[in-house]
Structure 1
Amino acid sequence: MDINIRIAGEAGQGVASVGTIILESLCDVGYNIFSTQSYMSRIRGGLNWSDIRVADFELFGPRPTADILVALSPDALDVLASEMASGGIILSESESTGEILGIPFSKIAKDKTGNALLANAVAAGAVFGVLGGSIDGLCDFLRRHFNKKEAEVIEKNIVCAKEGFALTSRQNFAKLKLGTPLKNAPKYIGNGAAAIGLGAASSGLKFVTAYPMTPGTATFTWLAGAADQYGIAVEQAEDEIAAMNMICGAAYAGVPAMTCTSGGGFALMCEGLSLAGMMELPVLVMLAQRPGPATGLPTRTGQEDLKFTLNAGHGEFPRAIFAPGIIEECFELSRRALETAHKLQTPVILLTDQFLQDIQKNIETLPSDYRPIDRHILPSNKDYKRYAFSTNGVSPRAIPGLGEGLVVCDSDEHDESGH
């Protein structure tokens, strides 16, 4: 069994909501899932879609064609109808013809609840009907999913889901039926952006900055949501130059710090990156790549900045670069990147991209327990020299206020004492 479900429509129509309901409910039952996003750089309108691939074997990537297309807008039907797999079905607001099954999602929602916005619940129910899923299971999931909402809101969603289910469950879609759920399929839905955030937060990150820039913003947003739990100070800077300089200041004070950005923002950070290299400051930069020069394509994926990061910044100074390829590596290498920055007292760059940031996949649960890294900080004595020569090239690191010595970090040419 390998079925690809595509939910498509305008921004603001609830495309992500339908996708989330289907994704999480199928994972909850016991299927392997893999989800990708395609969205335009606009708040309303345009054409966005979510792909939810479900199978009875482990999934590692998306499929180009869809078996089920839920077209919530005319553009979705016009653009994506040609990308259907053989034997696929389209659920659309249009008239039923051939492979298209007409379902008036908005009208049903409006008639049954007085709220046309609940068309996404109708769509979720319709998809479950095609798949031969359990409507009781979907309703139970909706109760848990909306458990913080008022009872009336939950009930309206359930009514709409049942209406959608009733319209498709009577049809014969034998090729698109779900197989037997797996007993040992992981129930944790991992996401690249969140995994990077969790890896850093659980490793002792205490300060994060950003000037919002897709697709780097997703990790920054996750860290902002986890700030209270992990004790992280979050600062949305006025620009990327400030964001970089802020984490340099935090690192000087001994605070594990990182910033999140994308290509154009990283270009502005290069002077600050050189500053960190000269001052031997342990800073972490998460660079979520986007394709194209200048502002590029904010909502598309690319991997064009590796050479740039290898040589970014003026002058020569050491840096480490980590590039995860799967969600689990996002978590592991985020921790390792923060660890390496402090061990070697140098800037570290964590490379990711829109695809890895946005994918969702069921994986084994990532550990969220707090295990702070070793910051390699020592109390200073009266004769402390911040840039003292050492056998391994890494000077003993002290921070202001810890010990008797004066801690001088300099961005200009300096001797061992920082002068």
Structure 2
Amino acid sequence: MIYLDNAATTKTAPEVVEAMLPYFSEYYGNPSSIYAIAGKSKEAITKGREQIANVLGAKPEEIYFTAGGSESDNWALKATFEAYKNKGNHIITTKIEHHAILHTCEYLEKERGAKITYIGVDENGVVNLDELEAAITPETILISVMAANNEIGTIQPIKEIGRIAKEHNILFHTDAVQAFGQIPINVDECNIDMLSSSGHKINGPKGIGFLYIRKGVKIRSFVHGGAQERKRRAGTENVPGIVGYGVAAERAARTMAERTAKEIEVRDYLINRILTEIPNCRLNGDPVKRLPNNCNISFEFIEGESLLIMLDMKGICASSGSACTSGSLDPSHVLLAIGLPHEKAHGSLRLTLSEEITKEDVDFVVEQIKAIVDRLRSMSPLYEDYIKKQQGK
């Protein structure tokens, strides 16, 4: 098997699993209790919080553990809206956010009376900063823009967005689920007030995430109950998950430079081979300002779903976009936002690498893609018409 869907989830690293194991069967005490093994659990949570904070340049007490990126996104938007609605009800976001943001905005708009502005992007998926700043009103309380797109890999200018937000005294939240551990992020340098992340994107466990909340941000509690997470997110902590996430975050920061340099080299080799050897296809996303492991290509005259199924039969795991929309028949909202027509958006393929993928793996994958695209196009009436037009018939 060649696994090329690391934007959906990653393999849990052996050192992460090893660190987690004692907290299932040896140090299994509830961290809120007062006996010794409970103290071990509490110490482990403190350490995990410190490990994650160090990667962001944050304070440990600004890290709040959640069940994952979607919960963190929901918390950031809903609780901020409730806390600041006396100041205003306007939120600015983009057309290419993850559905955890878009659907939360939709809920706030329909059910809570929020006003939402969706900023456009250019053909590479980069946010228009002038449009963003022009959208600010006296009622604006929050700007939420993802650090890097989960489908096309485009990295957003979050430092500039943070500057704009700070100049206008507006809170800035970024969904960094794809970016955390892949590119350097410092919350102070970027003026980030809230940041979402998820453990399973960086070789950590599933079911654990965090929301960074800058000290002084008056955000409401999201889960009511006990006093966990400084009374902001009740419920017994996922101690093994926190331990694993802390180790994964530390590992990602330690290996970032070497790991991403290798991923970029293999990614560019993959992109170049596909674009030069397969006609009628295009790279989606910014060619330079993109995540180190992301390759998103649209192939004309084919359906992406058929391509995925046939790649799976060859032992290649890939996707056509976000795993959270895999049950949808609609084309990607991200690809439509960058200007692709429906027929091209339907023929997209997302390949996301890990440090384990080699150029030899890529050679095999490209040969399979070439053969499958040829086969699918041979059955396409649209492609047949295209060839006839090219031949002047």
TM-score when normalising by structure 2: 0.29
Flag the structure with larger Rg: 1
- Select the structure that is richer in helix: 2
- Select the structure that is richer in strand: 1
TM-score when normalising by structure 1: 0.28
